[in-house]
């Protein structure tokens, strides 16, 4: 049984990861971590997650909790994630990271720390989304010269970062596959007299509304036709299941930075 600790255990993703871990035949939930002062600290994880009691109490002791794990799973926010990665390095534990909203410097810090421990870092743990990324990398070079590229993403009103990490990853994969610098060609909003669209641009548009779990559409538009690739998530369980799959894959891997493309064998 793979021993797993979930950090951000009282959050929406943390609850589902822990709940699915409890049901998994190859995984044992051995720890649940929350920030100091959180109301869930000291409570049974099952009580917080709305599932049967587990005997795993939510703790705010990072070192003690991470020490129990073989793999840590983190869907929190950028600064706490870096703290957890450093704690994993100190304890020589592997970590799966699904946190989004990290800036370039924070990503580089994770890359550097992955020289000491194995890390799976992906903005989206969904198997479907990662299969779509592979498809986009194959399709974009065929279409790019003659088709305009737009990405539209939609999430719930509580999501803090925009555009989503998944939309940015899609844009990055497309840009890399067609030899464009995303920093130069990305367009994140349009208003007023913007002039005609130039062919090299990659549009990335954001919607925030209600309780949308996550929707992403990539449009390749030409004169006379439009090709669309869409992924819609109806439950957070798809991301939680992917994170557990990544944790199982990560055990016994050497130090390094991996993503879900590696986990799924898509490279």
Closest to 178 (Cα-Cα) out of 219, 136, 218, 216: 136
For this structure, is 159 an active site residue?
yes
CA distance 54 to 66: 18
Q: Order of strands, edge to edge, in the sheet holding 225-233?
A: 186-187, 202-208, 148-155, 214-222, 225-233
Please say whether the beta carbons of 132 and 185 come within 8 A: no
In the set 84, 155, 169, 231, the catalytic residue is 155
Alpha-helix runs per DSSP H in the chain:
12-23, 45-49, 62-67, 78-91, 104-113, 127-143, 165-177, 182-185, 237-250, 260-263
CA distance 172 to 167: 9
In the set 24, 134, 159, 253, the catalytic residue is 159
Residue 93, both tokens: 């534990």
Backbone angles phi, psi at 228, to 5 degrees: -125, 140
For this structure, is 231 an active site residue?
no
User: How far from the centroid of its chain's Cα atoms is residue 93's Cα?
Assistant: 19
Active site residues: 155, 159
């Amino acid at each position: 049984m793979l021993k797993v600790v979930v950090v951000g255990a009282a959050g929406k993703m943390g609850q589902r990861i822990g709940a699915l871990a409890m049901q998994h035949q190859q995984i044992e939930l051995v720890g649940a971590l929350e920030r100091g002062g959180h109301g869930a600290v000291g409570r049974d994880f099952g009580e917080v997650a709305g599932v049967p009691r587990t005997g795993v109490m939510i703790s705010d002791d990072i070192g003690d909790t991470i020490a129990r794990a073989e793999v840590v799973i983190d869907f929190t926010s950028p600064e706490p994630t870096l703290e957890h990665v450093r704690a994993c390095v100190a304890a020589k534990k592997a970590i799966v990271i699904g946190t989004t909203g990290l800036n370039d410097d924070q990503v580089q810090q994770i890359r550097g720390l992955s020289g000491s421990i194995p890390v799976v870092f992906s903005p989206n743990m969904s198997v479907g989304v990662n299969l779509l990324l592979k498809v986009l990398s194959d399709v974009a070079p065929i279409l790019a010269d003659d088709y305009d590229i737009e990405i539209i993403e939609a999430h719930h009103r509580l999501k803090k970062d925009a555009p989503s990490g998944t939309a940015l990853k899609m844009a990055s994969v497309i840009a890399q596959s067609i030899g464009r610098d995303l920093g130069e060609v990305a367009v994140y909003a349009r208003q007023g007299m913007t002039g005609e669209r130039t062919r090299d641009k990659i549009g990335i548009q954001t919607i925030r509304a209600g309780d949308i779990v996550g929707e992403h559409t990539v449009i390749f538009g030409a004169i006379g036709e439009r090709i669309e690739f869409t992924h819609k998530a109806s439950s957070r369980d798809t991301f939680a299941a992917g994170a557990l799959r990544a944790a199982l894959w990560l055990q016994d891997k050497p130090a390094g930075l991996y993503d879900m493309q590696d986990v799924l064998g898509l490279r």
